[in-house]
A and B are shown apart, each in its own frame.
Chain A
Amino acid sequence: NAGVTQTPKFQVLKTGQSMTLQCAQDMNHEYMSWYRQDPGMGLRLIHYSVGAGITDQGEVPNGYNVSRSTTEDFPLRLLSAAPSQTSVYFCASSYRTGFYEQYFGPGTRLTVT
């Protein structure tokens, strides 16, 4: 199993550009989520999904869109990049929610200039 994979590893965008961060898992997990990690602020939940076709907002959803058309994939779209979105983005998955631990991808480091 590859686990949770994320692409790209690094990305530089100009303000106003759009892009999609890819996330895939091969563990048949129902639950997937996106976090951003900023210094001193831990991880903050952007969006999550409890299954294909179902998504919901987390703590900091503004400026981001998600969709879940398959169990395996959960892409994160930046609609119009802003410098405030400079961060490290992690995708995670788990069998379900509740007491199941999450498996994290290696992260995408995004810089918006």
Chain B
Amino acid sequence: AQSVAQPEDQVNVAEGNPLTVKCTYSVSGNPYLFWYVQYPNRGLQFLLKYITGDNLVKGSYGFEAEFNKSQTSFHLKKPSALVSDSALYFCAVRDRAAGNKLTFGGGTRVLVKP
């Protein structure tokens, strides 16, 4: 069965500092990997995804993520965080061999302080 782990419930960072949100996954085959963001009282919004190819994926709002197959990780990064980046971030995985189900991690709350 596929699974996703986000080891940090909350990440605190000062505005202007680099932001990293961690994600590790487990699938039986090769993964499709996604990051979503949720602002208060809103649905989830897609940020970026890894399909194949370059391990560094660039997405919306200046975010990027690095796929590491050996460490089964897909950490989300932003070089310089903004207060408006404060939100709940979810990593998700879909197994290419069993492609109908998308499994989400438990979410990481990011708080960017001015």
A residues near B (Cβ < 8 Å) are 4, 31, 33, 35, 40-45, 48, 50, 56, 58-59, 90, 92, 97-99, 101-107
Asked, given contacts A40-B9, A41-B106, A42-B90, whether A104 binds B101 with beta carbons under 8 Å apart, the answer is: no
Residue of A whose beta carbon sits closest to that of B47: A101
B residues near A (Cβ < 8 Å) are 4, 6, 9, 32, 34, 36, 41-46, 49, 51, 90, 94, 96, 99-107
List B contacts of A40 (CB < 8 A): 9, 106-107
- Which 3 A/B pairs are nearest by Cβ-Cβ distance? A104-B43, A101-B46, A42-B106
Residue of A whose beta carbon sits closest to that of B31: A99
Contact A99 B90 (CB under 8 A): no
Per the bound structure, the CA–CA distance linking A106 and B41 in Å amounts to 8
Task: Give the distance to chain B from A5, nearest Cβ to Cβ, in Å.
Answer: 11
Contact A97 B99 (CB under 8 A): yes
